[in-house]
Amino acid sequence: MSALKRRLDSSLTAQAVLAFLMALAITALFARPDEHPASWLLRSALYTGIGVVFIVVQRRRIGRATGADPRRLADLNRKIRHREVPSDPEERAVMRRLVAEHLRRMERGGRWLPYSLGLMGLLAVGLLVVGAVTGSLSLPVFTVLLIGICCWTLWMRRRTLDRCRHMQSALREQDERVS
């Protein structure tokens, strides 16, 4: 299991295959009964392609900001998750830039978070009302999924901020010890 997690963490191809399979399952789940399965494949490939483009652009931006390649970034992100401070001074410098970049992105995204969560909340209420009026059972399911996504987003944001702040202070303490 650890090898699979490491492969998914570092390999864009593995991430793309997993995303394609998930998109295919979701597309098949919500497809019309008269729809041909080839359209599922095409839409899933399109969704996966769009997602991979976003991931590649994000990796390049972070790579340019930190001066590290994607494989090294994956290893440093794993160290952030496991709260491991690198012993190499060069690696600590890259880690410091990576943590600063993560915190900067989280701060910038945090400005829009209330608006996006409010919009998702309005969408959830609207779906619930439309589902109650039409008697549809799928719309309340979408509402529950939307609320779950909102809660998961807030939880992951808090968790990532805690990890990055912890790593920032641990790097600062490590640098003070070395000096």
* Contact call for residues 89 and 178 (beta carbons, < 8 A): yes
Biggest alpha carbon distance in the chain? Answer: 69
CB 106 within 8 A of CB 164: yes
Given a cut of 90, whether residue 94 has pLDDT beyond it is yes
- pLDDT of res. 122: 93
| pLDDT band at residue 46 using 50, 70 and 90 as cut-offs | very high
To the nearest 5 percent, what fractions of the chain are helix, strand and coil?
A: 85, 0, 15
Structure tokens at 89: 């001074």
Q: Say how far apart CA 110 and CA 107 lie, in whole Å.
A: 5
Is residue 6 over pLDDT 80?
no
Provide the mean pLDDT of the chain.
90
Q: What is the tens place of the pLDDT at every residue in 102-154?
A: 999 999 989 999 999 999 999 999 998 998 899 888 888 889 989 999 999 99
What pLDDT does residue 93 have?
92
Give the whole-angstrom CA distance, residue 148 versus residue 155.
10
Note whether 143 and 128 are within 8 A (CB): yes
The type of residue at 112 is W
- Which residue bears the tokens 């392609």? 49
How far, in Å, CA of 106 to CA of 70, rounded?
20
Residues, the chain: 179
CA dist., res. 168 & res. 99, Å (int):
7
pTM value is 0.79
The answer to whether the CB of 24 falls within 8 A of the CB of 39 is no
* pLDDT for residue 40 is more than 80: yes
Query: Where in the chain does DSSP place strands (E)?
Result: none
Residues 148-161: what's their mean pLDDT? 94
pLDDT at residue 69 above 90? no
The answer to whether 55 and 85 have CB atoms below 8 angstroms apart is: no
